[in-house]
Structure 1
Amino acid sequence: MPDRSNGPMGGAVLLLDLDGVPPRERVEAFHHAMTDTSVPNRIRHEEPDTGMRARFEGWRIGGLDLFDMRSTGFEVRRTAWHVRRHRDRPVVSVSLQTRGTHRAETGGRQRVLGPSDICVFHELAPRAYGWSGQGASRAVTLDMADLGLPVEAVVHASLRLRASPLHGLVLSHLRCLFHEPERLQADPGAAALSRTTVELVRALLTSAAWNADDARVRGTMDDSLPTRVMAYARRHLTDPDLTPERIAHAHHVSVRHLYAVLARAGIGLEQWLITERLERARHMLGDPRWAHLSVGALAARCGFTSHSHFTRRFRAAYGTTPSALRRHRPDTRAEGPGG
């Protein structure tokens, strides 16, 4: 039975651990957990009598549900009959394979998935999924209404995600969600992170679903460009060669188009990059783990090539120098840029 004693601030919620269940009751417990966290399915196990094991954990980050699942071999099949019995708010699941070789069937096509694949299933479409032997996966579920894409578009896109130039970016973002989910779910930015994740997944699916010349794709890609640029820039923030030209090239747009779309979103790219780098430096200056670095070395870690330029911009943003802030923490609490 799922253990829901841990709230959002208490770390992972243990949804199932078959090691504590008598062997004869494990099939029923597994089915109960899958029904409790998902929707009705037909489930087949490789070893229902001799060695069946499984452990499910979950987290809630803003509007996202995250799941970590490890188990012996199984197959979950959702038929049209199961689809008609969906929950009130259907979801789209986005999963990563972290152990073993996984098999998926959707849209009449069978696929084999590995650790560099993203697997997407829409709750309102029949599908099959599973693996042989010991396997593991991590999944994020998004509310269908928040995603705002029709079922057929999600199914079509799920078969050709690697064709999208956004695949690597979204794969990296999803992996990062599971690095420290306990901290993320308690962070004040959890709601914003949830919205960013939905936007990135929507952009990936839209990009993969239609031809790049389709006006729907261009509109959605432009709408999600600020989110994608910020996610990309934060991943490469420590690189001093992170220029507008590099960012535009990575997103397959011209520099002029990049500036135009960001301007409509109220974002000045250079100032945003400096603000992000300054904020990272401010946190590092107050973190004992970085106390061994000189201020100049720390500035370089945050993407600044000039110590004097860093110090000047830091003083303008926070009203004090980096060295003074480091000396007076934790007693001194500097305001953010513009504060």
Structure 2
Amino acid sequence: MKRQLLDETVFRSEDVSAADRFDYWTELLGRTHAPMELRSDHTDDFQASQRVLDLGGVTVWSATFQPLVFRRTPKLIRQSDPEAYHLSLVVRGSGAGVWRHRETEYKPHDLFINSSSLPNDVYSTGDSVQTVALEVPKALLPLPREMAGRIVGAPVSAQEGMGALLAQFLTRVIADSAAYQPSDRSRLASIATPLVAALFAQLLEADACLPPETHRRALTLRIQAFIREHLHDPHLTPSTIAAAHHISTSYLHRLFQDADATVAAWIRRLRLEAARRDLTDPALRTTPIHAIAARWGFPRAADFSRAHRAAYGTTPKDHRNQALHDRE
């Protein structure tokens, strides 16, 4: 049986006539990222390639291209805004990003953070530029506009801290994309999002001059990333989370007041979502339901069944059977 792979889109400029390459590249970036104005000294025979991996909302892509100027204008933002954060690992080349609030130079081993919602000019230089990038919907990492401005363009090294962890994830996924199946998409996305959240939290907390509310939001992002990383632990509770972050349980609950659920409810929802993904994974069809439940922090199968029925109106068994039947 032929092995299914991740959804991947590949573009190579040599597959298009020389006269059409630059315009095609401009249109392609508008579809895979956001509409932009592009300028280059190489429009007569533009050389570029791109691979895009769709992880279901979250997107990983690699690109190699000749030097460009990318411009995202207020008019283009009004016309179309995917509302996403763009994080790009610079592998080769250099350049700068210019926003109203900041100008940042970048070089190899830097992580470049941008937002589809902010006007900007991005300049790239060098014989050719190579990047590995990640697109994350803002809905997964909600931040007030003023906090997003503090993150976008912030200098980040990919050789230390959370920047290094994110860079390792991106390069590994791109290098080994053939090792993953379509059912791995949500798992990869569930790894990427906490890494970005933790990086954002690190950036916000690094500025001692920030107002208390910004530090509160940074701490919340860090706690949410911690929860996602420890969902499998049946002892993950508000008290253990608070202790791990050296805060009181009451303060933890106050941090989550702006969320759509209490801390315990948020944990339960994430666990149920993760377990439901595994229940519908053909590769895990022979894994007992109680084993999947225990893997995601439900040591008692009866507790998992009740929580699943309360949340979705069906039993885990019925959900699995229906999903696997629909695939046949």
TM-score for both structures, normalised by structure 1:
0.59
Partner residue, 1:171: 167
Residue 136 of structure 1: aligned partner: 130
Counterpart secondary structure, 1:208: helix
The counterpart of 2:17, out of the listed 22, 30, 48, is 22
Equivalent pair of 2:67/2:124 in contact (CA under 8 Å): yes
Q: Secondary structure at the match of 1:148?
A: coil
C-alpha separation in 1, matches of 2:192 and 2:100: 25
Q: Could you tell me how far apart the structure 1 residues matched to 2:203 and 2:173 are?
A: 22
1:201 correspondence with 2:202:
no
The one of 68, 75, 78 aligned to 1:81: 75
Contact preservation (8 Å) 2:62, 2:130: yes
SS of the residue aligned with 2:175? coil
SS in 2 for 1:115: coil
Distance 1:10 1:205 in 2: 27
Which whole-Å CA distance do the structure 1 matches of 2:245 and 2:74 have between them? 48
Which deviates further from its counterpart, 216-225 or 66-75? 216-225
Name the amino acid aligned to 1:108. H
- Which residue is 1:223 aligned to? 224
CA contact (8 A) 2:59 2:134 kept: yes
2-structure distance, mates of 1:86, 1:209: 28
Structure 2 partner of 1:182: 178
How many Å apart are 1:151 and its aligned residue?
A: 3.5
- Pick from 137, 145, 152: which aligns with 1:158? 152
SS of equivalent residue, structure 1 residue 120: strand
Q: Deviations over 1:29-53 (max 9, x none)?
A: 122212222222111012222x421
DSSP-derived class of the 1:101 partner: strand
The number of residues matched between the two structures is 232
Q: CA RMSD, aligned part only?
A: 3.3
- In the alignment, the residues of structure 2 paired with residue 227 and residue 161 of structure 1 have an alpha-carbon distance, to the nearest angstrom, of 26
Q: Could you tell me how far 1:27 is from its partner in structure 2?
A: 2.3
Q: Offset of 1:75 from its aligned partner?
A: 0.9
User: CA separation of 1:26/1:173 partners in 2, compared to 1, >3 Å: closer, same or farther?
Assistant: closer
Q: Following superposition of structure 1 onto structure 2, how do residues 1-339 of structure 1 map, counting pairs within 5 Å? A: 9=5, 12-14=8-10, 16-49=11-44, 51-87=45-81, 89-132=82-125, 133-160=127-154, 162=156, 165-184=161-180, 186=181, 188-210=183-205, 211=207, 214-227=215-228, 257=246
* 8 A Cα contact 2:197 2:222, kept in partner: no
8 Å CA contact 2:104–2:155 kept in 1: the answer is: no
Q: Which amino acid aligns with 1:129?
A: V
From the superposition, tell whether residues 257 and 152 of structure 1 become closer, same or farther in structure 2 (CA, over 3 Å): closer
Question: 1:21: Cα distance to partner?
Answer: 2.2
Alpha-carbon contact 1:79-1:126 (below 8 Å) kept: yes
Report if the CA contact (8 A) 2:93-2:130 is conserved: yes
CA distance in 1, matches of 2:37, 2:120: 11
Deviation at 1:256, TM superposition (A): 8.4
- Which residue identity is paired with 2:110? D
- Taking a change above 3 Å as real, the CA distance of residues 11 and 182 of structure 1, as seen in their structure-2 partners, is farther
Counterpart amino acid of residue 171 in structure 1: A
Inter-partner Cα distance in structure 2 for 1:8 and 1:70: 26
**Match for 1:183: what amino acid?**
A
Instruction: Give the SS at the match of 2:220.
Output: helix
Which ranges of structure 2 fall in alignment gaps of 5 or more residues?
232-241, 253-263, 269-328
What is the alpha-carbon distance in structure 1 between the residues aligned to residue 203 and residue 6 of structure 2? 37
String of CA shifts for 1:73-95, please: whole Å, max 9, x gaps: 111111111111124x4221111
Q: Is the 8 A contact 1:41 1:77 kept in 2?
A: yes
Deviation at 1:28, TM superposition (A): 1.7
User: Aligned pair in 2 of structure 1 residues 153, 94: CA closer, same or farther (>3 Å)?
Assistant: same
Write the distance in 1 (CA, Å) between the matches of 2:39 and 2:12: 18
Per the normalisation by structure 2, the TM-score is 0.61
CA apart distance, 1:97: 1.0
Letter in 2 for 1:196: I
**Secondary structure of the residue that 2:156 maps to in structure 1?**
helix
